[in-house]
Amino acid sequence: MVGAGLLLRTLRDLLRENPGFNPTQVVAANVWLPIPDDPKDDPYRGIAPKVIFDRELLRRLKAISGVELAAITTDLPTTNHSLNDPNGNYALAIEDRPVESSQDLRAERVRISPDYFKLMQSPLVRGRSFFEGDEDGKQPVAVVDESTARKYWPGP
């Protein structure tokens, strides 16, 4: 009984925490693209076919009656999928401070569609969100959390 009570109290406390996004009226679904036995037969090999798939999926989702916004991500908040992916965690260096920043700065590569932050009602404090034109082969774009921004770019 004590264990069950502690579990319920912890769950209640977690539900009161601000997760940094608004999960109200948000539906999440996992979509797994098939992986054939022979990689040469994979119609989604490489980034370009996945981008085409994602854009068509978003177009169809937005066409559903009652859907106000639709977005895609490779890693939903609180799921920690990228922690299990050894290829998803990257060491970073800031251009004007490569030695200082490369010592402990790491990032997860999470792909999102442009309306993701708007859908999650997770406001950006500064800067810009992603655009449809932000894609491989162009200048990389990143979003950092407030504590990282304060540490490496202090000031107004």
Summarised one tens digit per residue, pLDDT across range 2-49 is 888 888 888 887 777 766 667 677 777 778 888 888 888 888 888 788
pLDDT digits (tens, 9 = 90+) for 81-133: 544 455 556 777 777 776 665 667 777 777 888 888 888 888 888 888 888 88
- Sorted by where each begins, the domain ranges of the chain are 2-152
Angle, alpha carbons 43-45-48 (nearest 5°):
95
* More confidently predicted of 32 and 77: 32
Q: How confident is the model at residue 140 (pLDDT cuts 50, 70, 90)?
A: confident
- Amino acid, single-letter form, for residue 130: F
Instruction: Classify residue 119 by burial, with Cβ atoms within 10 Å: 0-12, 13-18, 19+.
Output: buried
Residue with tokens 């060491």: 91
Which residues is 97 bridged to in the sheet?
A: 94
